Amino acid sequence: MPGSSLRLLLSAQQIQERVQELGAQIDADYPDGTLHLVCILKGACFFLADLARAIRRDVLIDFIGISSYGKGKITSGAVKLTKDLDITVDGADILLVEDIVDSGVTLNYLVNVLQNASPGPCASPLCSISPSVASRKT
């Protein structure tokens, strides 16, 4: 990018190779039943699409909107649900799909919401394309 101070960290090929590896690992970790992929809007939607194609088993996809940023770029610490799930996840295997895990405040809140909303056992691990360790709080 001429005139830009941005630098390439990973090539498109490196990202796609990693997404394929993640898909294979998810297939191995969840061999039975239907897996619910819950995309945390909005940044993770393209990662979710690639990941869903890399997973070779049945998946259901839904979206949830959650924010702790308001209009700023630094977390306010106050978490707000902006879009709830459209499908029921009672007792389901859930994989949260996120683009960047920043402070962890929002994700921690979301995991608690999902676990409290489900009367049966509910697993909610995370698949993230890029963890941001610089501002991690939880």
Q: Annotated catalytic sites, by residue?
A: 102
Strand pairing class (59-67; 35-41): parallel
> Cβ–Cβ contacts within 10 Å for residue 7, how many?
6
List own/partner pairs for 133-138 with CB under 8 A and 24 or more apart.
135/75, 135/102, 135/103, 136/101, 136/102, 136/103, 136/104, 137/75, 137/103, 137/104, 137/105, 138/103, 138/104, 138/105, 138/107, 138/108
